[in-house]
Structure 1
């Protein structure tokens, strides 16, 4: 039997996101077919809609033609027929904290995941019915809920399921409501969890020891090898940072540290984000003539 890998992700390759996945797909081997399903992309898409990424020829893409709003009756019917929804709802009610926000998030996740489940199942029945199916969720959140539903209810020949986990999909505190939907469903269903850091692995094993036992491995994110460029040695200390400018990254602290030094420094930063204004405001007040910033 042929082996098919189905990757359930967010928006790659139609929106500028998930750059590490764009790198990763170039190195996938051992499958006769690779299918990528961007869960949060809706409507008819053409190859010309892929603008920011070179796409390998051996990869197939498909996505939901309609959002869950237009398939709401199917979503409700699916919920009525299965217990996973009620189990999670009861867990939320027991915790009480951020109750309204958590219920709102939980319902939205449920409908999005069921909508994706419906479309992926249809596609696989149509084109991969007699193949060994491997499911890979790029995030351990909404996409992993869809993966879990497919494994539990689709009756497809699914051989193995696995998920990556990053940050917001690992740490409850990284979410405004301190809640991640269907955490126990995901952890109990997937065969393997690939964390990008030791801390993520430690957090999950400590928080859910029974559900995560012998399931987690470290698989770091990476980029292509571009080699080493030698530069002439000078008395200038050159610092390069590359990051999304958001509070958790704490990039303004780099400026504060460098601003306090009395040596020639050239700092180059790559990356935009919501803290760009804060960083630029700090830089405007820079009186250290030895610090040059790009």
Structure 2
């Protein structure tokens, strides 16, 4: 169960995992539940089936969904608010997502009508996971595996102050997966009664081969890759680079045209030896090609919070060092062997000073150092290695049974 994949954009990192799942299982059913545009699906394997779930968008559609399952919804609404606390933001969230979860539950149940051996796998700790947990409540023998990343894990990243449905899902799930040690430590500390179910299975990226030996130009070549939402703090990257003392060419991948225009308009006057190239939202293949064929000194990330960005995994797979601040699980991928990790909360000028020193150290253009960066990827974030470990775990969770639909 996904949010959008294989439609629209986002969850690009799921593409690699899905290839490995298709190789390991006879049939993979993907159920995305946050899709608005179904017109351009991304390719999937022959043994993958995608189920269309249309969520209510209009106020009328939401009201109909609520009323059509009124008694179930009211009962679940009361139960969830008692668990998570009564606040207006959660009430609004539950008003939409509980009847939608009941709809998803019905779809899952129908899919399992003809299933033999199966495991329910929710890629996020979200409404999908809640829907699956409701089905498992009625059929305790089925197996449910739930993965958490960042926004669906850390309470402080939610406008309501807490991740919806967590207590219900954690209570019934058979396995709770986290992509970082930081996430695992957070969950096991805050929800210790479920710690026996918790495991770490890192994400991974495919082998891209190290970037070829290229002649680096005089300006240092810096790249960043993210959306332009506030928590990514791309505006802070711009300010930092503008305060550096060395010549820099900065290329940013990600962001819609309007967001890029707004970002450009908000920037102060740039120093003469800082060049910015906005690439916008592009296909991942274009980013991979850029990494493979262009000289890049480092990838920079100054987000206010993160899980472990796939953009960093991709960069180090090419031997590209990373410069980042110490938030979330970033310290697990950015270490002295892979780049420069700075404390979070430094001023713009302090970050710029650290970046100047790292660039002038010569590490980013040292073949031995870059080979070590790639070696770290091989040992920790290889898709072949990490996805196989996950699949082995999923296979242990499979359950054989047929049961009637609702």
SS of 2:250's partner is strand
Higher-helix-fraction structure? 2
1:37 paired residue among 10, 26, 31: 31
Query: Match of 2:70?
Result: 76
Deviations 1:211-251 (A, max 9, x none): 2x122222333333322332213332111110111111112
Offset of residue 187 of structure 1: 0.8
> Equivalences for 1:35-74 in 2 at 5 Å?
35-41=29-35, 49-51=39-41, 53-64=42-53, 67=56, 69=62, 70-72=64-66
With normalisation by structure 1, the TM-score equals 0.81
For residues 152 and 88 of structure 2, the distance between their equivalents in structure 1, rounded to whole angstroms, comes to 20
For residues 263 and 145 of structure 2, the distance between their equivalents in structure 1, rounded to whole angstroms, comes to 39
Contact 1:132 1:157 in 2 (8 A): no
Contact 2:184 2:200 in 1 (8 A): yes
Q: How many equivalent pairs are there? A: 269
For residues 91 and 218 of structure 1, the distance between their equivalents in structure 2, rounded to whole angstroms, comes to 26
Contact 1:42 1:63 in 2 (8 A): no
Offset of residue 73 of structure 1: 5.2
Q: CA RMSD in A?
A: 2.6
The one of the two structures with greater contact order (alpha-carbon pairs below 8 A, sep at least 6) is: 2
1:142 paired residue among 106, 127, 151: 127
In structure 2, relative to structure 1, the CA distance for the partners of 1:220 and 1:23 (3 Å cut) is same
Contact 2:250 2:275 in 1 (8 A): yes
Query: Match of 1:122?
Result: 110
SS of 2:224's partner is strand
SS of 2:131's partner is helix
Contact 1:133 1:157 in 2 (8 A): no
Tell whether 2:207 aligns with 1:225: yes
SS of 1:122's partner is helix
For residues 222 and 50 of structure 1, the distance between their equivalents in structure 2, rounded to whole angstroms, comes to 26
Query: Match of 2:16?
Result: 23
Runs of at least 4 residues of structure 1 off by over 4 A?
Answer: 65-74
Tell me whether 102-111 or 58-67 shows the greater mean CA deviation: 58-67
Deviations 1:152-204 (A, max 9, x none): 11x3862x321111122111111111132221111111111221222221211
SS of 1:35's partner is strand
Contact 1:137 1:143 in 2 (8 A): yes
- Stretches of structure 1 that go unaligned for 5 or more consecutive residues are 1-7
> Equivalences for 1:89-238 in 2 at 5 Å?
89-92=81-84, 95-96=85-86, 99-125=87-113, 127-128=114-115, 131-153=116-138, 155=139, 158=142, 160-211=143-194, 213-230=195-212, 231-238=214-221
